[in-house]
Amino acid sequence: MEHKGFTLWFTGLSGAGKTTIGNMIMERLQKHGAKVEILDGDVVRTNLSVGLGFSKEDRDTNIRRIGFVSELLARNGVICIVAAISPYKAIRDEVRANHKNFIEVFASCELDALIERDVKGLYKMALEGRIENFTGVSDPYEPPADPEIMFRSDLEKPEESAEKVWDRLVELNLISP
């Protein structure tokens, strides 16, 4: 497989399928011999962004760090898949501006479906006021106005969403299997 380095940035609410679809794409790319890394928001927070909270400033700092690492990987020929809520449009736009090849993927899902599939009960606790600054409940999420790719994880099977992402990457000439 021929490919150039690029960043595939999955944004969406917690539980919307960012990591699931990102991992599916990563596995498929690796089977074709591509160099791929995934930066999962939860993993990054425990390593690269340890000590940051969930204020807007801390969230922006976290996304800037992820953006820096993803751009570094992409410019060195690695496909970097980012799966991070990244709730604020302005910071996503800032990260995009620092990339040569940045593809925004919006993992869309209705709140009712997210609550239903939430095994940790985080949405329920947030709705009860037991978790503050919870994105999509007590803290805003600004959906992308014009993402390169969008899927609806509440209406599509994961395989359908992954195929939609894959087909768009081919269409954009970022991969040529």
pLDDT tens figures, 80-91 = 999 999 999 999
pLDDT tens figures, 42-56 = 888 787 777 787 788
Q: Please give the average per-residue pLDDT across 164-172, as a whole number.
A: 96
User: Quick one: tokens of 18?
Assistant: 């960012």
CA 101 – CA 168 distance, rounded (Å) = 14
132 part of a folded domain = yes
Q: In which band, very low, low, confident or very high, does the pLDDT at 172 lie, cut at 50, 70 and 90? A: very high
The confidence score (pLDDT) of residue 5 equals 95
The tally of domains found in the chain comes to 1
Catalytic option among 14, 70, 86, 161 = 86
- Is 86 considered catalytic here? yes
pTM of the entire predicted model: 0.94
The string of DSSP codes covering the chain is -EE--EEEEEE-STTSSHHHHHHHHHHHHHHTT--EEEEEHHHHHHHTTTT--SSHHHHHHHHHHHHHHHHHHHHTT-EEEEE-----HHHHHHHHHT-SSEEEEEEE--HHHHHHH-TT-HHHHHHTTSSSS-BTTTB-----SS-SEEEETTTS-HHHHHHHHHHHHHHTTSEE-
173 part of a folded domain = no
Q: What is the CATH number of the domain that holds 91?
A: 3.40.50.300
121 part of a folded domain = yes
176 part of a folded domain = no
- 1: pLDDT strictly greater than 90: no
pLDDT tens figures, 11-30 = 999 999 999 999 999 999 99
175 part of a folded domain = no
Domain residue limits at 31: 2-168
pLDDT tens figures, 129-140 = 999 889 999 899
111 part of a folded domain = yes
